[in-house]
Structure 1
Amino acid sequence: MPQDDLLDAIRAIAGDGGVIAGAELAKRPGDWLGFSSCMAAAIVRPRSTDELSRIMRLCHARRQPVIAAGGLSGLVHGTDAAGHELQISFERMRAVEAVDPVGRTMTVEAGVPLQAAQDAALEHDLIYAVDLGARGSATIGGTVSTNAGGNQVVRYGMTRENVLGLEVVLADGTVLSSMNHLLKNNAAYDLKQMFIGSEGTLGLVTRAVLRLHPRPLTIATALLAVDDFDGITGLLSLCSGRLGAMLTSFEVMWQSHYRAIAIDSGRHQPPLPAGHAYYVIVEASGMDPGRDEAFFTALMEETLAGGLAADAVIAASGAQRGAIWGIREDIPGIMAAMMPCAVFDVSLPVTAMPDYVAGLTASVDAEWTGQGKLMVFGHLGDGNLHISVAPRPWSEEARHRAEELVYRPLEAIGGSISAEHGIGLEKRAWLSSSRTPEEIATMRLLKAALDPLNLLNPGKVLIPEDSSA
């Protein structure tokens, strides 16, 4: 437990409201859905990089561990804190500092919500292309720390491809400022890449330079029903070949997801009837209003005429587009249908997906004698599936068994236990399934070099070598 004099010293740096402790702390949620409470000793809210640097110098001198928190939308317990740890919140660092419409960059503080960054870019007819369902709560710092992917990776890549520069506070308070604005900069090591995807274990991101893109003038969205996986791969090849760089998203919902969310939940007006094996969202964006809509419509008609799709609907308005994506992004609906459940985020070759999901379905049915539930959807265009397994009856032992069923088959097909959500606490025991011993050893070297006292997100990503956890 931090000593009161440490919290007093932090208050002197961070000012009024800079530390939340005591009765006020009990009111703070531990996650964005409000399922848990904050368990940290206190929440520290710096207002600037300089304040955080000074605070970390104090924590380093006292060997005080800290946990970084963004929008609390992580799914692998990366922001969990214990009673002896301080949570560092960036909620008072939410400035969009600058937008350069010519250089197509944006400079932001780490606490800026993803949606706010997207809106600021749109004011200049530009877009920040990283996009995900939790855009209203996820922060730039959080998406950088997990190398978030989302719905537009097919066209724009992961967060890593959309960050040009970073400012980071190291464990001892050192400020590493690499606020590069250049698209091409080969001046030795690109240090920012160490921190993107490292989940706050190597340093705390405070500011970022984001890469922006021209705002598309057209967006076309279709939902297609497909009856076999050959139709999925054929559809992906056709859309990739014909649309090229215009293809922005290629999302697939297995029947289990579509039926539960679009039909059974009563939360949506289903655009297509149930009964098909797969439901595919194809979205394209372009710059030619006179051509793009007709081209996209003709392509969707071709998928029907060629037998790749059994049914299709094209959004005729922004509201209809939102309704289609609403089914795909209804995380509260998934929670309502599946909780308690174990949530997974895996990647694997597209061609391996049908056998993998079929095997997983059979394993879940056999393990829980037909009582377990399975839901699958994801960013199929970039090889990423989101999987929810609901063992019945639920127990921690059942959750661990679900992990085995999901993760074990991935090793043989070259898959990954984490496509975009990170490792956190829940997946660290499985890291060797996706990384070699040499890679993990190098990760430990980096951690020891940058955070020798193990103060930053301790226990996350890498199991401590002196622990049997």
Structure 2
Amino acid sequence: MPARFLPKDFYHALEEAVGSANFRHADNIPQSALGDWSTERGGTPCALVTPRDTAAVSAVLRLCHQHHVPVVPQGGLSGLAGGAVPSEGSVLLSLARMDQIEEIDTSSSLMVVEAGCILQRIQDAAQNAGYYFALDLGARGSCQIGGNISTNAGGNRVIRYGMTRDLVLGLEVVFADGTILPMMNRMPKNNAALDLKHLFIGSEGTLGVITRAVLKLHPGVCGANTALVALPEFDSVTRLISHAQFMLSGRLTAFELMWNDYYQAVIDGTGQKPPLATDYPLYALIDMQGADPDGERSAFEAMLETAFETSIISDATIAQSHREIETFWSLRDGVSEILSLRAPVISFDVSVPRSRIGDCVDEIRAALTQAFPKLPTVFFGHAGDSNIHLVAGPIDQFDPTGKNIERAVYEIIRTYGGSVSAEHGIGLHKKPWLSYSRSETELATLRLLKRSFDPKEILNPGKVLS
């Protein structure tokens, strides 16, 4: 319902539900609330509310449900798929002021937090308590845990600790009609019927609004052994992952893969001295975190030595200090420089079975070269968890909207049985391609869930599903 048709008492009730300090009318909404880190732009919202507790969230949703007003939940607005941009005439529901760490239970290795808590605060609080919260991604300083959960965020440590889904023990969720669903489980084992929290993890705010969470903590880490290695071909990548996992007893924390085009682009873009020569086909950043990195160093070095002796790797350099570790990671994080220097670009976040990544990248590269000669591309990714990233651009001289480039890439991903979204969600941006990764039966089931949980379709309308 467009904002101009809403009665004044609706706005009065909305303001009363959250308090005048937490209510903004359409003409007073900051520009920062109108978009995320994607290029997607939505409609014009009618209001912005920032409730301070679950009861206020419930009151807002109950009111909007009664008046058929769409609601768009917002976290840190660091998403890359347009999942939190406004729908036309919507109430923006920001969780930013629900940012408390309620409890750290060290005896049970868990933390209870509100959904608006910034990821880095959670990481720091866990570390100060002698523990480790394993989710980590570049937006750690601004993303909120509720958004991480609602998109099932991935990040740098999935190979060892899993996706966000694997780090959540319990949730509190508010339905579209304001009903509060308490699922604040605190136990790793709870097999008392279906675990409903999984319906909301990764649902991008379309089935309910996450307000609180119980998070799983891991034993604290004091540092890492880190190496940058060069590889002769993609078969060596899969061999090295298996070799490292075996020799390190599953303690491999990160395996970040960079093709030569990416490595060269980062070196050129940052002016950084290359730790390894720039003429190898592939590079991998290998990381093993632990409580005693000095004591574990011999095992890490032995793993690399054996890999070199068996010709899995062509060259390697081991970080000798925390500063060198940061230097190695700056190569992987240098994608921001590439995005800036090559704008406008189109970025991809896809996954295919790990054994087929090499062939898939070769096929994508060949298809783009044939369709768009001289289009610059770089390939990189987490690889150990099947995730590939691709940045193509500048695209303005080749395909200004990027749609034809997207089609070429996603057609190939579909033939490999892959996913058009490995870790960033669907939102608005990838909605046209969702059927490339989900069968019609799966999509029909998702629509059935949507109708069951949100019959008036007020929650994040237009996102994920058509």
Smaller-chain TM-score range? over 0.9
Aligned counterpart, 2:268:
264
Deviation at 1:325, TM superposition (A): 1.4
Whether 1:122 and 2:159 are equivalent positions in the alignment is no
Matched, 1:460 2:463: yes
- The structure-2 alpha-carbon separation of the partners of 1:92 and 1:395, relative to structure 1 and needing over 3 Å to count, comes to farther
> TM-score, normalised on structure 1?
0.93
Q: Could you tell me which residue of structure 2 aligns to residue 59 of structure 1?
A: 64
Q: Would the alpha carbon gap of residues 123 and 256 (structure 1) be closer, same or farther in structure 2, given more than 3 Å must change?
A: same
Match of 2:192 among 187, 192, 195: 187
Q: Which structure 2 segments of 5+ residues have no match?
A: none
Per the TM alignment, residue 128 of structure 1 is displaced from its structure 2 partner at its CA by 0.8
1:307 is the counterpart of 2:329: no
Moved more, 83-92 or 95-104: 83-92
Contiguous gaps of at least 5 residues in structure 1: 464-469
Matched, 1:89 2:99: no
Residue number in structure 2 paired with 1:324:
328
Residues 1:408 and 2:417 are matched in the alignment = no
**Deviation, structure 1 residue 400:** 1.1
CA distance in 1, matches of 2:10, 2:353: 50
Match of 1:467 in 2: none
Q: Distance in 1 between matches of 2:303 and 2:273?
A: 25
How many residues align? The count is 461
Q: Describe the shift of the 1:105–1:314 C-alpha distance in structure 2 as closer, same or farther (beyond 3 A).
A: same
Report the CA distance between 1:101 and its aligned residue: 0.4
Q: For residues 182 and 24 of structure 1, what CA distance do their matches in structure 2 show?
A: 44
- Inter-CA distance 22–430: structure 2 relative to 1 (3 Å threshold): closer
Q: Which residue of 2 aligns with 1:358?
A: 362
Aligned to 1:466: none
TM-superposed deviation, 1:33 = 5.3
Q: Give the partner amino acid of 2:224.
A: I
Q: Distance in 1 between matches of 2:34 and 2:311?
A: 48
Return closer, same or farther for 1:150/1:8 CA change in 2, 3 Å cut-off. Answer: same
Q: Quote the Cα distance in structure 1 between the aligned partners of 2:163 and 2:108.
A: 20
Equivalent in the alignment of 2:11: 7
Inter-CA distance 434–35: structure 2 relative to 1 (3 Å threshold): closer
Q: Which residue of 2 aligns with 1:430?
A: 433
Q: Distance in 2 between matches of 1:337 and 1:30?
A: 25
Structure 2: how far apart are the matches of 1:238 and 1:73? 35
1:169 partnered with 2:156? no
> Could you tell me whether the CA contact under 8 Å between 2:131 and 2:217 is conserved in 1?
yes
Distance in 2 separating the partners of 1:289 and 1:129: 17
Q: 1:280 aligns with which of 273, 278, 284?
A: 284
Query: Which piece of structure 1 moves more, 306-315 or 36-45?
Result: 36-45
TM-score, normalised by the number of residues in structure 2 = 0.94
> Structure 1 CA distance, aligned partners of 2:77 and 2:277?
35
Deviation string 1:129-149 (CA, Å, 9 cap, x unpaired) is 111111111110011001111
Question: Does residue 252 of the first structure (1) align with residue 221 of the second (2)?
Answer: no
What percentage of residue pairs aligned between the two structures are identical?
A: 42
Contact 1:340/1:394, CA 8 A, preserved across alignment: no
Aligned mates of 2:153, 2:206 — CA distance in 1: 16
Distance 1:203 1:395 in 2: 40
Kindly indicate whether the alpha-carbon contact (under 8 Å) linking 1:127 and 1:214 is maintained by their aligned counterparts in 2.
yes
Q: Given that residues 29 and 36 in structure 1 are in contact (C-alpha distance below 8 angstroms), is that contact kept between their aligned partners in structure 2? A: no
Distance of aligned partners of 1:213 and 1:359 in 2 relative to their CA distance in 1, 3 Å threshold: same
Aligned residue for 1:57, secondary structure, equals helix
Aligned with 1:214 (options 215, 219, 224): 219
**In 2: Cα distance, 1:379 partner to 1:19 partner:** 41
- Give the superposition deviation at 1:267: 5.7
